[in-house]
């Protein structure tokens, strides 16, 4: 039995001016859920927006307060970042990735969204012959929206059928035209929670060097592949990264998920020292500066977007990174709750006819974490999104993430203990109302 009528959902879509429910963005689904909750008083099981669902790291809060008390709020911070944060980021990368990047090449940004935006600009303008971005999908829809803003083109492919060595042939096919400026992906992946394995990262790195392509590696869910015991500074296993296989990389490290510091909008882009120092005549001509990649990105691009990052938050992030490097914060254990939630939620869905869409990495089953993907019988992702809304469950269609698979993304961050029973009851009703052939994919 449906919780919300088709008429009420249709009314919400109409009043919120949503053009196509099956292709609704994260923000639009969020608005629909809020509308229906307000109209009926019935709570939603919110699986739409990937906003942190754990308490903020208090050590960061205290460091930010102390910085404000010292008076840092009265002065503009340097565009390149405060020295304490740059040094802490360099140490953190060494401790958890076993990668050497100098403090100079570690640059704070107003969240990874600003980091990717500025990096897209620099990457697509550095060489007139390389003006497109390649997305290894599924991925974060906002990054394609950023390219629309700057007028850059992109290419994309769903990695689902190109895992392991098969990735090499696909990338060669995409890169051989010579017009790709950058490759972007997230690892662990948003939305599928797949993780690229060493073999695949080696392939990406080798081809990035061969075709002079910059790899933008989004590490928003850093060390959150809970299948491995990561998170111990200067001890293997280290978090996997393409930085071991090429010098053409930009790593994006966010404070939002690993420290639950999303509200302060703070991240780092960590650029290989080799790339940071490269000089590009096209950048020099456009910006009338040195054309040195790192300096142009900082002073001529990022500064034009945000004029630097909030000073006090830089000190907060520096403290959290420093304490993690010293082993005084175990951010991996702090975020393991997401894996526990995913395990419980997956069980409820799979016991009621759903299947996991992106279910396997190259050598092992996909782990439990911040996101997972579900499908139901032969339903398209748009159909499933709509049908779940009737049962008080919000999600986003995989088609909005560049995926060619049918299903929706589920986020664990807003799940609460009191909602598991609610979810189970609603999915039992969903399954009863939507019988599927016992031989269908399960």
The answer to whether the bond into 306 is cis (omega within 30° of 0) is no
Distance separating alpha carbons of residues 184 and 213, to the nearest angstrom: 10
Q: What is the pLDDT of residue 75?
A: 93
pLDDT tens for residues 79-106? 999 999 999 999 999 999 999 999 999 9
Listed in sequence order, the residues at least 6 apart from 71 whose beta carbon sits closer than 8 Å to its beta carbon are none
DSSP-assigned letter for residue 362? S
62 and 193 together in one domain: yes
311 and 341 together in one domain: no
**Cβ distance 401 to 139 under 8 Å?**
yes
Task: Give the number of other CB atoms < 10 A from CB of residue 37.
Answer: 16
Is 392's pLDDT higher than 50?
A: yes
pLDDT tens for residues 400-425? 999 999 999 999 999 999 999 999 99
49 and 120 together in one domain: no
pLDDT tens for residues 351-375? 999 999 999 999 999 999 999 999 9
- R_g (Cα) of the chain, nearest Å: 22
**Cβ distance 134 to 181 under 8 Å?**
no
Number of domains the chain is built from: 2
**Cβ distance 15 to 34 under 8 Å?**
no
Please report which confidence band the pLDDT of residue 1 belongs to, taking 50, 70 and 90 as the band edges: confident
Q: What is the pLDDT of residue 76?
A: 95
pLDDT tens for residues 181-230? 999 999 999 999 999 999 999 999 999 999 999 999 999 999 999 999 99
Instruction: Supply the CATH number for residue 83's domain.
Output: 3.40.640.10
Which among 298, 325, 352 is the end of a domain?
325
Please report which confidence band the pLDDT of residue 235 belongs to, taking 50, 70 and 90 as the band edges: very high
Helix and strand element counts for the chain (H, E): 17, 13
In a domain, 233, yes or no: yes
101 and 142 together in one domain: yes
Which among 279, 294, 325 is the end of a domain?
325
182 and 220 together in one domain: yes
CA 368 vs CA 307, 344, 360: distances in Å: 38, 10, 11
> Domain span at residue 320?
58-325
Is 347's pLDDT higher than 90?
A: yes
**Cβ distance 104 to 276 under 8 Å?**
yes
**Cβ distance 215 to 250 under 8 Å?**
yes
| Class of residue 130 by CB neighbours under 10 A (exposed 0-12, middle 13-18, buried 19+) | buried
Distance separating alpha carbons of residues 246 and 60, to the nearest angstrom: 33
Q: How do strand 408-411 and strand 132-137 relate by DSSP bridges?
A: unpaired
Listed in sequence order, the residues at least 6 apart from 180 whose beta carbon sits closer than 8 Å to its beta carbon are 130, 132, 133, 134, 155, 174, 211, 213
Tokens of 330: 């175990």
Burial readout 368-379 (b: 16 or more C-beta within 10 A, e: otherwise): bbbbbbbbbbeb
276 and 341 together in one domain: no
Instruction: Supply the CATH number for residue 408's domain.
Output: 3.90.1150.100
**Cβ distance 18 to 4 under 8 Å?**
no
**Cβ distance 217 to 243 under 8 Å?**
yes
Q: What is the pLDDT of residue 441?
A: 44
In a domain, 224, yes or no: yes
364 and 380 together in one domain: yes
241 and 374 together in one domain: no
**Cβ distance 107 to 299 under 8 Å?**
no
Sheet holding 153-158, edge to edge: 106-109, 267-271, 249-254, 214-218, 180-186, 132-137, 153-158
Please report which confidence band the pLDDT of residue 111 belongs to, taking 50, 70 and 90 as the band edges: very high
In a domain, 36, yes or no: yes
Q: What is the pLDDT of residue 442?
A: 38
Which among 295, 325, 355 is the end of a domain?
325
Contacts of 166-169 spanning 24+ positions with Cβ under 8 A: 167/200, 167/203, 167/204, 168/203, 168/207
Quote the strand ranges of 138-187, DSSP E.
153-158, 180-186
Q: What is the pLDDT of residue 439?
A: 41
In a domain, 442, yes or no: no
13 and 41 together in one domain: yes
Mean pLDDT of the chain: 96
Please report which confidence band the pLDDT of residue 29 belongs to, taking 50, 70 and 90 as the band edges: very high
In a domain, 163, yes or no: yes
Please report which confidence band the pLDDT of residue 427 belongs to, taking 50, 70 and 90 as the band edges: very high
pLDDT tens for residues 256-299? 999 999 999 999 999 999 999 999 999 999 999 999 999 999 99
22 and 100 together in one domain: no
Residue 22, classed as helix, strand or coil, is: helix
Distance separating alpha carbons of residues 161 and 177, to the nearest angstrom: 22
Q: What is the pLDDT of residue 436?
A: 86
44 and 67 together in one domain: no
Tokens of 29: 């689904």
Task: Give the number of other CB atoms < 10 A from CB of residue 104.
Answer: 17
Distance separating alpha carbons of residues 431 and 354, to the nearest angstrom: 9
Task: Give this prediction's pTM.
Answer: 0.95
């Amino acid at each position: 039995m449906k919780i919300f009528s088709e008429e009420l959902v249709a009314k919400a879509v109409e009043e919120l001016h949503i053009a196509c429910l099956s292709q609704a963005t994260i923000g639009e689904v969020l608005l629909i859920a809020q509308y229906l909750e307000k109209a009926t008083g019935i709570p939603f099981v919110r699986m739409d927006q990937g906003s942190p669902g754990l308490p903020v790291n208090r050590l960061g809060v205290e460091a930010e307060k102390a910085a404000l008390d010292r008076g840092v709020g009265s002065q503009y911070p340097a565009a390149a970042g405060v020295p304490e944060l740059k040094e802490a980021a360099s140490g953190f990368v060494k401790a958890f990735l076993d990668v050497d990047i100098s403090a100079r090449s570690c640059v704070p940004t107003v969240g990874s969204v600003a980091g990717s935006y500025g990096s897209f600009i620099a990457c697509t303008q550095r060489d007139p012959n390389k003006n497109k971005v390649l997305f290894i999908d599924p991925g974060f829809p906002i990054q394609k929206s950023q390219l629309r803003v700057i007028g850059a083109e992109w290419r994309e492919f769903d990695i689902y059928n190109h895992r392991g060595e098969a990735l090499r042939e696909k990338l060669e096919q995409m890169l051989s035209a010579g017009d790709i400026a950058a490759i972007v992906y997230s690892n662990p992946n948003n939305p599928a929670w797949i993780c690229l394995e060493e073999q695949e990262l080696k392939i990406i790195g080798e081809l990035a060097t061969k075709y002079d392509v910059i790899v933008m590696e989004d590490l928003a869910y850093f060390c959150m592949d809970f299948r491995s015991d990561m998170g111990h500074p200067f001890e293997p296993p280290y978090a996997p990264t393409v930085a071991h296989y090429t010098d053409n990389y930009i790593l994006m490290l966010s404070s939002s998920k690993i420290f639950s510091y999303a509200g302060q909008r703070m991240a780092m882009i960590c650029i290989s020292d080799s790339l940071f120092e490269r000089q590009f005549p096209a950048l020099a001509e456009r910006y009338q500066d040195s054309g040195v990649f790192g300096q142009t990105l900082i002073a001529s691009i990022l500064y034009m977007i945000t004029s630097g990052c909030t000073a006090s938050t830089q000190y907060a992030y520096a403290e959290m990174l420093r304490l993690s490097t010293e082993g005084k914060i175990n951010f991996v254990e702090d975020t393991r709750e997401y894996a526990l939630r995913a395990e419980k939620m997956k069980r409820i869905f799979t016991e009621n006819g759903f299947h996991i869409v992106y279910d396997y990495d190259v050598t092992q089953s996909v782990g439990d974490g911040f996101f997972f993907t579900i499908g139901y019988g032969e339903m398209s992702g748009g159909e499933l999104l709509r049908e779940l809304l009737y049962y008080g469950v919000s999600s986003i269609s995989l088609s909005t993430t560049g995926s060619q698979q049918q299903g929706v993304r589920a986020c664990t961050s807003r799940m609460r203990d009191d909602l598991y029973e609610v979810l189970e009851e609603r999915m039992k009703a969903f399954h009863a109302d939507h019988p599927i052939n016992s031989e269908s994919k399960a």
